[in-house]
Every structure is written in structure tokens, then in C-alpha cells.
Structure 1
Amino acid sequence: MVSKPRISKGTRDFSPKQLANRDYIFSTIKSNFKKFGFQPIETPSFELAETLLGKYGEEGDRLIFKILNSGDKVKKADLQALEDGNLARFSNSLTEKALRYDLTVPFARYVAQYQNDIVFPFKRYQIQPVWRADRPQKGRFQEFYQCDADVVGSKSLWQEIEFIQLYDAVFSDLNLKGVTIKINNRKILAGIAELIGAQDKLIDFTVALDKLDKIGAEKVKEEMLKKGITSEGISKLEPLFNLTGDFSDQLQSLKSILSTSTEGIKGVEELEFIASSVAALGLKTAKLQMDVTLARGLNYYTGAIFEVAAPESVQMGSIGGGGRYDDLTGIFGLKDVSGVGISFGLDRIYLVLEELNLFPTDKTLSTKVLFINFGTSESLYSLKAITALRSKSIATELYPDAAKLKKQMMYCNKREIPYVVMVGESEIEQNKYLLKDMNSGEQQLVALEELMKIVS
């Protein structure tokens, strides 16, 4: 029986052109990571389940892809849990490994495991795929790449400032104008939770608050009520939903609202330092904006939190995010190692650049010169020139078959190759090449050195 060719929902195939465009984004991000002093590492695609579970909150845990045990390990399944109706315990007994949910927790594991070999502060970048059992939709996939940069071993707020500059540098190089870097501080959220009497429900509170821009204030209030936060406490949040003014005005308002919370005031002061420093240094294209409802519902953030919004002209979720985590490595036995990091959402950035037509064609061409195949002797003569062009890193190819000229030219047009070279007996006798510019239609007979200058 013939199988129907298809792929799993939430995954994608990529064409050569799409991969060229993706590589343009990858190379832009990677070059800026290097400029800012980050070093590359890689971790396995799957980790021990115990490494990942319990690090992302209840919602995050549900989205982790678990890998089913095989062979004799299946016999170790907790059948009693199944009989008792405890499906979670039974499910966990069937698996020891899981696909990584993000790059941050594996990085924390890496730092703890190799702490004696690492020079602190340790600045690393990592560009690898991650997997989430999420409902597929526009800009959200079950398999996607993250491009992360982190610093561990320093509590200095200059790191947060540099990450804001890094975001700005990357989006400037991508010519993506109108990007907004939203910032908040987890200490401010802790202060708000204290204010409304929900200190013991900080995670529930932040997870609900983080959905404000997606489901609206009323739905957020409903979710908080279901989580056990009182109506009286929720009513105290009203001023926060409608904070107005610029960055400085909002911070002043928060100082007043959180005046009784030591933790909250500390968060406000940290944001004041970051905002004033960024204002003094300036940004090329991005805008820094305070967003007190920004929560990023991951358990490990403890200080500044970031989320990057695409230009308003594009309907898209966040295209980047991150934050400060003071003791993430503590879960692996390495205490008091503060870290801060950010991530670029490659797939969403791709969709934004595509919608705004910002991919430069000269960066994504796979082949620059095509040599027409007129036969054996002509092809041998052409390959000498092709070898010379390739030695200068000019992407060049010979059409493999001595097909009709129309077919070869059609291939060139469909591949969007800008130059064609034709070689016949006359060109071989003169030791020259007939070069055609496919955009202008202009043809000229040139020697190899001149040919290389024109197409380079």
C-alpha cells in the first residue's frame, strides 16, 4: 500500500529559498552574538525527564514531549498507578527522557555539570531546535528554533542593558524598524501579589496576568478568581491595567502603588537604572517600553523580564523574550549563580520579514552564475572557469545535460540565477566567454578575469 506523503502537524519542510532566508536571519543573529562576546555551545535534543519537569510551571510541563521507554524498561511501568487512576504517575513511569522545551534549563544543567571547566561570568549563545506540544497556529509550531544568549555568574544590571542593545543591533541589521522591547521586573510582580494578598499564589497570578493582551482584562480576572485570588485583591489591580504616561511616569506611579513593598520598590529601582542608562546610550531602531502586565509565566525569572513585540503593522505575537534568573542552577546543586538571558524567535521573525518584504535577494541567492551545457568539449572548457569562480566563493554551476537551450534558460529563470555564460566553438577559440545579465538582457564577450570582476 502506497503511503500518502505528509508531515506531522506543527512541523514544516523548508524549500531552498526558505532555508536561504532563514540562514540570513541565523547569520545576522550569530554575528551579533559574537560581537557582544558570546561563545557557542550545544546540548542534546533530549534530556532526562527529571531535568525538565517542574521547571516551567504546570502549563509548561503539559507541553513537554516525553519519549516513551523501549525494551525492558517498559516492564517498569507503574501499573498500580494506572489501577488507582493516577494517570500522571503512570505516564511518568513510562518515560525517562523528554525533548527539550527550551534552551535555558538545559543550559543551567550544562553550567552546573561543567562548573569547574567554565570561566565566570560565562557568556554563551546557542542556536538549536526545541519542541513543545502546543496547538499549532500562525507563528506557533511544535518544532522550532530558538536563538539564545545568556550570561551567568554576574548580578550586574549592565548585562540587562547590553541585552537591550543586542536586541536593537540585531533588528537594526535586519532592517526591521518599529520593534518594541517591553520590560518589567518580577520583583514588581511579587510586590503587586503582596499588595493584593496573593503572595502564596504568585505563579497563578503571573500566569493569568501574562495573558492580558491575549484574552483581555475580564477573562484575566475570571481566571484569577478561579485560582483563589479574592475579588477585593483583583479590584486593587485596576490602576495597573491602565497605567499611562512614558516610562518615567509609569515608574513613579508604581513607586506610589508599591510604597509598602520592599521587594516591589527594589524592582522599580532596578528598572529606573536600566531605563536611564539605555536613554543615555540611545537605541538605533528599537523602542524600550515599560509593561507592568508583562509576566512571562515561567517559574525561574526573578528580576528583569523582556518581551519583544513586532512592528504594529504586523499581526504577530512576541518575537523575542527573556529575563533574569537568580538561582536557576540551584536546582542542579550549583547555588547563588545569577544569570540573565534573551531569546530570538526565529520563526516569527521570519514571518515578519516575509510580510514586510525585508529579505534582501542578494543575500539569499543560491547560485549566481549558470554555465550552459552545449556538449562535452564546451563543458570541459566551462568547468575550468567554474573552478576559478568557485575558488573566489562565487556560487556557480554547470547545467548537467546538453539539453535544448530553451530548457536550460527556463531552468535559469525559475532558479532566479542572475548571470548565464554560454560557450561555443568560437568562444573556445578566442579563450573567452559570452556572459549574459539575465536582469538587463545585456550580453558581452569577456575574458575570465573580466568575467570574475563583473559577477563578483
Structure 2
Amino acid sequence: MSQKPGIPKGTRDFTPEVLLKRNYIFDTIKRTFSRFGFAPIETPVMENLSTLTGKYGEEGDQLLFKVLNSGDFLKDLDRNETDYKKVTPKISEKGLRYDLTIPFARYVVMHRNDIVFPFKRYQIQPVWRADRPQKGRYREFYQCDADVIGSESLLYEAELLLIYDEVFTALQLPVRIKMNNRKILQGLAEVIGQPDKLTDITVAIDKLDKIGEEGVQKELQAREVSEQGIRQIMQYLKIPFTDLEAFMQSSEAGKKGIEEIREVQAFLAKTPLKNELAVDVTLARGLNYYTGCIFEVQALGVQMGSIGGGGRYDNLTGSFGMPGMSGVGISFGAERIYDVLEELQLFPDSSGAGVQLLFACFDKDAQFFAMPLLQKVRQAGINAEVYPEPVKMKKQLEYADRKKVNHVAIVGSDEMTTGVLTVKNLQSGEQQKLTIEALIDFLSGQ
């Protein structure tokens, strides 16, 4: 009995039409990364689990896809062991990468002797998370990251914000870029007298948009934050950044965070962004490795979670034996950006990115005649093909129409004798006579 085909939940097949649109996003991002001096790298699909675990917080660790060891992975296993945390290391040594930042940190340490610091890299590859699939959230998706490592200069924070601004301006997608600083959140933990609760506080605050203030209070109670502390945290969430200094008077870390945000603003003072940049003291970013400025991007005019985020990390390479290496990076959520552009109908007409010209031939001799012309057109940078069989012209034109090819060059005995092709615009129905040189000039100007 034949098996019904299917794919895992949270994954997708991509049609040519969809991939053309995705490549439009990726190409826009790549061009911007390159203009800012970032170089591309790639890392393996799989990393050692020891590389991945303990880097993403308690919730992130639960979302790691683990890969079973090859061969008889049950051979040395105690069958009476029921604690999955003890069993996992014995049957799985590898996992699919959860993001691109931790593999990047591992890459830096392994290649430190070949890297010129500060090292500016970008990486566009898929990642995997064992999450519950829903709108805008997938188990397999692409990340587009840019990081600078080996410098503490806040100039790079400003550069990364400029990258966000340029990319979303090029995509004609209005966004709000939010910024905060983890030192301010550290200061909040110090102000309430529970500095050891920083992670608990950030995890709770990070859920504010999803569960509201009441939900955050309950989360903080569950994490054993004091009632006085919870009242102070709820007060903090309502304080505008301009009034935050007084609240942070007792915390050097908090005051340092405020100072860093002001320095980033100063770098951008004479190069203002086209999109809105807002300091949001409620922004937490749940990942544990952030230590300084943090960012998040929201699309305007559509209901969607963040479409980008990132921040400063001071010791990400430390766990791999290379302490004290500061870095800062951002990520573009390509899948969500695609969904937003689709919903707002902001994709340009992508038909020109597919096949622009089809040679439709009346007979085999016409096909032989068309082949060198086809190569001339391709060498001129025009996407083109020839229909493989000299069938009825109606069928060839229907093929072109279904593939959204705008122009068809019809080749028959007259065209072979004169060297002048009959070119039909399938959108308007208009026909014109053009030499191959004139046809190339015409299509190049489209």
C-alpha cells in the first residue's frame, strides 16, 4: 500500500513563486550587509549538544531538536532510567542549531587565529525549534544575522540600527525599532533588592505583550519575587525613559545602561533613521546571553510578533574557552517579514525575476535556429527558455501564460529567412517585429 505523502508540522515546501519572493528579501538583506562591510560565513546544520545547551535559557533548552546517535544507541542504556535529562546525553550527542549566534561564537573560538578583529560577519541559514506551530511561528525557518565581535564600541550598535532602517526602507515596510539595555534591567533587579532574580524578572517582563500586567505579576509571584519588588517592577514598567534616571539612582549598572543608550542616540543624531526608533524600558529579550543594548523590530499596520531582534553580549565565547570577547548582533525574522509583506501586498511584481522570454517554435528547424539566439539572450542577462516540442502554437502560448512569462518570441520560416522575430506581449496582446539585438535592448529596458 502506498504511503500518503506529508511533511512534519511547522515545515513547508516552497513553490518557485514563493522562493522568488523570499529571495527578494534575502537579496535585499545581503546587499545591505555587504555595504556595511559584513562578510558571509556558514556553519553546520548540527552542533554538539554541549555547544547548544545552557545558552538559551530554560525555555530555549526545551525547544532544542536532538539528533539520535548513529547505530545501536540503546546498547549501553539503563532501561530502568526514567529521567529523560539523564537519558538524553547517552542517546544524543548532537542537535539541530537553535539560532545562528551560538554557532557563531563557537566558530569564532575555533577560527580565532584566522580572524581579523573586530570581525563583522553575516549568516543566512535555516534554524530549528521544537515549538508549537502557529501564525508566524515555524519549526524550521531562516534567520538572517549580522554580528560584530571583538569590540565594545557602541558605534556598532548604531550601525546595526542603521542596517535595520535601510533594509526595511528598501522593502518599503514601515517599522518601529525598539531599544533597551539589559544593564537597566539588571539595575531594576538591584533596585528591588533581588539582584539574583534578574533572569526571572526578564523572563516575566518579556511576556508582557502576551500576558499583560496581571500575568506578569503572577509570573513574578511564581518566581518568588517579593511583593514589594513586584510593586516596584510594575511602577518601572510605566516610567518613560526620560524619567528613568531618578529610579536608577541606587544602581550603577542601571545608570550605565541609561548612559549607553544615550551614546547610541548620539551616534545617530546626525544620521537620523527613516523609521521610528523608540526606547522601551519594558523590552527584555528573553535570551540569557544579552548584557547591554537590546533591540526588537515591529512591523506597523499588521498584527505580527517581532520581525527582528538582537543585542550586545559580553562573554558569549567564554564558555568555549575564550573569555572577554564582546560582541553585538541583530537578526531578521525572514519568515515573518515574508508574511507581513504578503499581507500588506508590498512585494514588487516578481514575474520579471522568473522567465522573461519564451521562444515558441513552429517546427524542429525553428528550434535549431532559436538555440543560438537563446544563448545570446541569456548572455545579455535575460532569463529565457525555448519550448521543448514544436507542438501547436496555442499550447506553447498557454505554457508561457501559466508561467507568467510576459514575452514570447515566435519562430517560423519567415523569421528564419528574415532574421526578424515576431515578439508577442502576453499581457497586452500586442505584437512587434524585432531583430535579436533589438529584442535584447527592449527586454533589458523592462
Deviations 1:16-52 (A, max 9, x none): 0100111111111011111000111111000000000
TM-score (norm 2): 0.97
In 1: Cα distance, 2:15 partner to 2:9 partner: 18
Q: Distance in 2 between matches of 1:241 and 1:123?
A: 34
Q: Which aligned pairs between 1:123-142 and structure 2 lie closer than 5 A?
A: 123-142=120-139
State the one-letter code of the partner of 1:91. T
CA distance in 2, matches of 1:173, 1:448: 34
Root-mean-square deviation (Å): 1.3
The CA distance in 1 between the partners of 2:426 and 2:235, in whole Å, is 62
Counterpart AA for 2:189: A
- Map 1:209-224 onto structure 2 (within 5 A): 209-224=205-220
Give the deviation of 1:241 after TM superposition. Answer: 2.5
Deviation for aligned residue 1:194: 1.3
How is 1:40-439 mapped onto 2 (pairs within 5 angstroms)? 40-79=40-79, 82=81, 85-177=82-174, 179-243=175-239, 250-284=240-274, 286-311=275-300, 313-362=301-350, 365-439=353-427
* Ranges in structure 1 where 5+ consecutive residues have no aligned partner: 244-249
1:130 partner amino acid: V
Which letter does structure 1 place at the counterpart of 2:313? Answer: Y
Identity of aligned residues (%): 53
Contact 2:378 2:384 in 1 (8 A): yes
Contact 2:351 2:405 in 1 (8 A): no
Aligned amino acid, residue 66 of structure 1: K
Cα displacement (A) at 1:383: 1.5
- Between the aligned partners of 1:226 and 1:321, the Cα distance in structure 2 is 27
Alpha-carbon contact 2:213-2:234 (below 8 Å) kept: no
Shift, 1:277, TM fit: 2.5
How many angstroms apart in 1 are the aligned matches of 2:90 and 2:54? 16
Cα distance change on mapping 1:418 and 1:275 into 2, 3 Å: same
SS in 2 for 1:372: strand
Match of 1:246 in 2: none
User: Tell me, what secondary structure is at the counterpart of 1:255?
Assistant: helix
Offset at 1:409? 1.4
Letter in 1 for 2:69: N
**Distance in 1 separating the partners of 2:353 and 2:114:** 41
How far the C-alpha of 1:87 sits from its partner, in A, is: 2.2
CA shift at 1:240, angstroms? 2.5
User: Contact 1:78 / 1:93 at 8 angstroms: preserved in 2?
Assistant: no
Following superposition, the deviation at residue 316 of structure 1 comes to 0.7
Q: Offset of 1:279 from its aligned partner?
A: 3.0
Q: Report SS of the residue matched to 1:242.
A: coil
Aligned residues: 444
Instruction: Please give the alpha-carbon distance, in whole angstroms, between the structure 1 residues aligned to 2:160 and 2:332.
Output: 11
> Could you say if the C-alpha distance between residues 331 and 78 of structure 1 is closer, same or farther in structure 2, counting changes exceeding 3 Å?
farther
Distance 1:62 1:364 in 2: 44
The residue identity in structure 2 corresponding to 1:93 is: K
Change (3 A) 1:260 1:78: farther
Deviations 1:304-355 (A, max 9, x none): 00011111x1111100000000010001010111000000111111111111
Which residue in the other structure is 1:30 paired with? Answer: 30
Task: Summarize deviations over 1:165-184 as a string: whole Å, max 9, x none.
Answer: 0111111111112x011000
- Tell me, yes or no, if the aligned pair for 1:24 and 1:363 is still in contact at 8 Å: no
Letter in 1 for 2:22: R
Contact 1:139 1:317 in 2 (8 A): yes
**Displacement of 1:363 after TM fit?**
6.9
Are the equivalent residues in 2 in contact too, given 1:198–1:205 (CA < 8 A)? no
Instruction: Give the whole-Å Cα distance in 2 for the aligned partners of 1:332 and 1:154.
Output: 18
C-alpha change, 1:171 and 1:417, in structure 2 (3 Å) is same
8 Å CA contact 1:321, 1:343 repeated in 2: yes
1:418 is aligned with what amino acid?
Answer: N
Q: Structure 1 residues 12 and 131 mapped into 2: Cα distance closer, same or farther (>3 Å)? A: same
1 CA distance for matches of 2:425 and 2:83?
Answer: 69
Amino acid at match of 2:61: D
Change (3 A) 1:444 1:363: closer
Q: Is the 1:24–1:364 Cα contact (8 Å) retained in structure 2? A: no
For the residues of structure 2 that align with 1:78 and 1:164, how far apart are their CA atoms?
52
Task: After superposing the two structures, state which structure 1 stretch, 392-401 or 353-362, moved more.
Answer: 353-362
| One-letter amino acid of the structure 1 residue matched with residue 429 of structure 2 | G
- CA apart distance, 1:238: 2.4
- Greater Cα shift, 69-78 or 105-114: 69-78
The letter of the residue matching 1:215 is I
Amino acid at match of 1:400: P
Instruction: Name the residue aligned to 1:10.
Output: 10
Residue by residue over 1:110-153, the C-alpha shift from the partner in whole angstroms, topping out at 9 and shown as x without a partner, is 11111111111111111111000000011110000000010010
How far did residue 212 of structure 1 move? 0.3
Kept in 1, the 8 Å contact 2:180–2:279? The answer is yes
Going from structure 1 to structure 2, the CA distance change for 1:215 and 1:350 (only over 3 Å counts) comes to same
